[in-house]
Structure 1
């Protein structure tokens, strides 16, 4: 009578568990490279004097922390009221933005102007330093 050979088999479940735990451990403890790239905008410069007077519209200056309308400090709510009160929606609105102004703030101002159907927006650039 021939001897029956038993097949040797390994239970893979504990091995898979160990590999999975190692994978989770390395994923949790590793430091992922953070994308710190910032959109660089090269704003144009001009050599002529910039006029801050806008005939029928108004002049908006944005800095890192403030909004100014025609030289007076304002909030987004004041900007909404001022832009809603404009009779001539085709009047130009001059927008001067500081380089350090976050884009979210610029987008918020542009959204307010767009909601009031003011589309004639002029971006004012800086004077060229000679």
Structure 2
């Protein structure tokens, strides 16, 4: 994550999330990492080994390595969750990382599998909802 993106999360996005929470009765923040259909280069994943320490023990999300787009989407989402969860203003919220992988296109529908390196599809989506 770039320093500029982390700063935007802290200075712009969190403020917007709090505004939304004031308008709606929500207490869950879902962060969804999306990818394009570009295959991930072959390398071993360490997600099974490090997800717990990144999530619970303060290990930096930069240690995560993925072997597919689903893992890449999850690693991206978790990096954002760590920034959001570190802000005391969001302490009352449950913040969850999710992966949309390459399955969901920018229009919110399942991808048409047209493939390739598509920058717009590599994104983070943040949703808010009420817990069950």
TM-score by length of structure 1 reads: 0.30
Q: Which has the higher helix share?
A: 2
TM-score by length of structure 2 reads: 0.29
User: Bigger relative contact order, structure 1 or 2, given CA contacts below 8 A and separation 6+?
Assistant: 2
Q: Determine which structure has more spread, i.e. the larger CA radius of gyration.
A: 1
